[in-house]
Amino acid sequence: MPPAEELAVFLADLAGLVEGAAVGDAAADCRRFAVLTRALQPAGMKATGARPFSLPVCRCWAPSLQAAREQPALAAMAHALQLFGPYLDWVQNPNYRREPPTARFLDDYGYAVIAGPSAGPPALLSHPSLALGVLLLAPHTHYPRHRHPATELYLPLTAAQWWRGDGPWRDEAPGAVIRHAGDVPHATRSGDDALLALYLWTGDLATHARIEAAA
């Protein structure tokens, strides 16, 4: 089993970063996600039965973590991810598996769930109203404009560009907190380096995102 102490540090740091971003229109959602994150109990971890790093994009896991560890505010979280990363179950949105947006997309994209509902993908921690995990995109990957009913926060651990609503593209630094309200279209694209980002969802956790059109 992954180390509960490191997972507890990771969750506390994540909640602090999210709560610290509680300003403007995103304030209420940031506070809500911080409360949900703090409610997670590492002592309740369960094995996912995962085959470690099972997707092609996992080739980018180690270099992305190394880049994140060079950011002082993210170093402890990146260290924790390194320790419990081998226990994560890597999956892909079934909508994208049926209709990939590009020929290479499935080789360059994947996500793993740290906490989520028991009916969803295998997770280390169970929570009925929060989904928390990691998104990984290989370098030079465009994750096209998509939407979902869940409210979402992203916290990138490496730099990338992000699109929301009518745009434009924005450069977001590691440690930023990016909010997407339910059903607001959004997109992201990595540059020369892979994108590793934490995501948090609440609301409708059962409905997968659907791609609309490239932004």
Residue type, 14: L
Biggest CA pair distance of the chain = 44
Is residue 136 within 8 Å of residue 64, measured between CB atoms?
A: yes
With 90 as the cut, is the pLDDT of residue 213 above it?
A: no
Report percent pLDDT > 90 for the chain.
88
Q: CB atoms < 10 A from the CB of 175, how many?
A: 18
Q: 76: helix, coil or strand?
A: helix
Residues spanned by the domain of 80: 4-211
pLDDT in tens, 169-197: 999 999 999 999 999 999 999 999 999 99
Q: Look up the CATH number of the domain holding residue 66.
A: 2.60.120.10
What domain count does the chain have? 1
d(CA 100, CA 102): 5
| Token pair in block for residue 85 | 């990363």
Note the pLDDT tens digit of each residue in 28-87: 999 999 999 999 999 888 888 888 999 999 999 999 999 999 999 999 999 999 999 999
